[in-house]
Amino acid sequence: MIKVLSPKSIPAPSGSYVHGMEVPANARLLFIAGQTPGRMDGSIPSTFEEQIDSVWQRIGAILAEAGMGYTDLVKVQTFVTKPEYLPKTSVARKRVLGEHRPTATLLCITSLATPEYMVEIEAIAAKV
């Protein structure tokens, strides 16, 4: 079983995440490369909402291919290109993950590899 770590000696998380998750030795691990919002036809969605939904759909497809689901995520690292996307990121994350709270990092950066990309998410999942 994956163990959630929330030490009482440090402040509680300020968002929808936990401080730590301990994965047992017998768990399968899945490392998901940074997923970007490109479509199958090569086009890129024009709005942030469409882009982040596309990225979460891609992550869901990779998880499903491995016989896992969103609740198997233990680490999510999100990169956005503008501070105004931060609240929208939280809304999309809650819509996809519900009450599941993996560890997380959210960074606002200047640019991604393709300038039209507004968001990229990489993740780690574990299944016991």
> Distance between alpha carbon 37 and the CA centroid of its chain, in Å?
13
Task: Please give the pLDDT value at position 27.
Answer: 94
Give the per-residue pLDDT at 16: 86
Mean pLDDT rounded to a whole number for the chain: 96
Looking at residue 33, its pLDDT comes to 98
Q: Which fold has domain 3-7+16-127?
A: 60s Ribosomal Protein L30; Chain: A; (3.30.1330)
- Domain locations along the chain: 3-7+16-127
74-107 pLDDT tens trace = 999 999 999 999 999 999 999 999 999 999 999 9
User: According to the model, what pLDDT value does residue 69 have?
Assistant: 98
Residue 71 region, left (φ>0) first, then alpha (ψ -120 to 50), else beta?
Answer: alpha
pTM: 0.94
